[in-house]
Structure 1
Amino acid sequence: MTRVRSGVMPAVALTTVVAAFSGAPSAVATPSVGVEAVTISEATVDGVEYITREITIAPGGSTGWHYHDGQVFGVIQDGTLTHDTANCTVDGIYPPGAPISEASGPDHVHIGRNLGPVPLVMVVVYIQPPGTPLSEDAPDPGCGFA
């Protein structure tokens, strides 16, 4: 269930923001594990949708394999994000305060994992056409972890 929290988000978090997941599960998708998301704000301006979410991933949890049709920017607040690409390599380890952005489209399947001992908390901004899913589920590309 998505909870909407009112309030103003600091400009710094909006300018340096991270990706995550969403979307309906499919038969071949790898589901997220230990993920909670809270929608902070939503707005449509000049035909572009802006959604800001706080995403928490429990220790040992992951977003599941996915990609984004729109732009995604974020910042890590707590914990450490391990980001893997579909070629089964880590393409980034992001500690607290680190910004992250993710490439768009089905050629950029990835997974975000929390391999640390504390919850991972990210603030993420999605910039996309109205009505599109925040992410598209994808099958495990053969990496052996989800």
Structure 2
Amino acid sequence: MRRGRGARLARVLVAGGCVAVLGFASSSAVATPGSGVSGTVVAKGTSAGKLKVRTLDGRTDVTFRTITVEPGGSTGWHTHRGQLIAVVKSGTLTRTLHDCSVEVTSAGSSFIEPSGARHRHIGRNLGPEPVVLWVTYLLPEGSELSDDAEAPSCRTK
């Protein structure tokens, strides 16, 4: 009887270990990590009630952050659960979007990133100076600032 419980426990532990290993393997297989990127949260707050932002229901985290992308740096492919409003303070940011189109945004210009998994994108600094962004995130309460995403088949060079 005791031996049966021990064997059962061993099978459960082995199965659990396999699931854990598969979880790590699958997340590393699709992740497209960034490099040469740093960010600082300047301010963060949560709306007291519903904020009138498209695609968001309920309470909203509003985060203001500065992001620096060093020359040759990349954000990695990612998505956001809410909208972002970004201003390029300095440098030139090159973004490849989910449909493989490319948008180039220079200092003094801004852009809006829509929410949702189908709006994956990557930001790259192809220039000789750091890109500095001022970004306001409007995300559902408790959301991560971004979620890793798999690169589309167009793959950036």
Same fold (TM over 0.5): yes
Q: Assess if the C-alpha contact under 8 Å between 1:114 and 1:120 holds in 2.
A: yes
* Alpha-carbon shift at residue 70 of structure 1 (Å): 0.6
Q: Residue 117 of structure 2: SS of its match in structure 1?
A: coil
Amino acid at match of 1:102: E
List, as ranges, runs of 4+ consecutive aligned residues in structure 1 with deviation greater than 4 Å.
none
- TM-score, normalised to structure 1, is 0.78
Aligned 1:89-128 pairs, distance under 5 A: 89-90=101-102, 92-128=103-139
Q: Distance in 2 between matches of 1:45 and 1:89?
A: 34
Contact 2:96/2:156 (<8 A) preserved: no
The one-letter amino acid of 2:96's match is: D
Unaligned runs of 5+ in 1: 1-25
Aligned equivalent of 1:50: 62
Q: Over aligned residue pairs, what C-alpha RMSD do you find?
A: 1.2
Cα pair 2:80 2:145 within 8 Å, conserved: yes
Q: Which has the larger radius of gyration?
A: 2
Q: Does 1:40 align with 2:51?
A: no
Contact 1:86 1:143 in 2 (8 A): no
- Name the CA distance, whole Å, in 2 between partners of 1:80 and 1:73: 16
Contact 2:98/2:120, CA 8 A, preserved across alignment: yes
Q: TM-score, normalised by structure 2?
A: 0.73
Q: Which structure has the highest helix share of the two?
A: 2
2:95 paired residue number: 83
Instruction: Name the count of aligned residue pairs.
Output: 120
Residue by residue, what CA displacement relative to the aligned partner does 1:110-139 show, whole Å, maximum 9, x if unpaired?
A: 111100000000000001111111111001
C-alpha separation in 1, matches of 2:114 and 2:60: 18
Identity of aligned residues (%): 45
Query: Within 5 Å, which residues of 2 pair with 1:67-78?
Result: 67-78=79-90
Alpha-carbon separation, structure 1, partners of 2:139 and 2:98 = 23
Which residue in the other structure is 2:19 paired with? none
- Aligned letter for 1:122? L
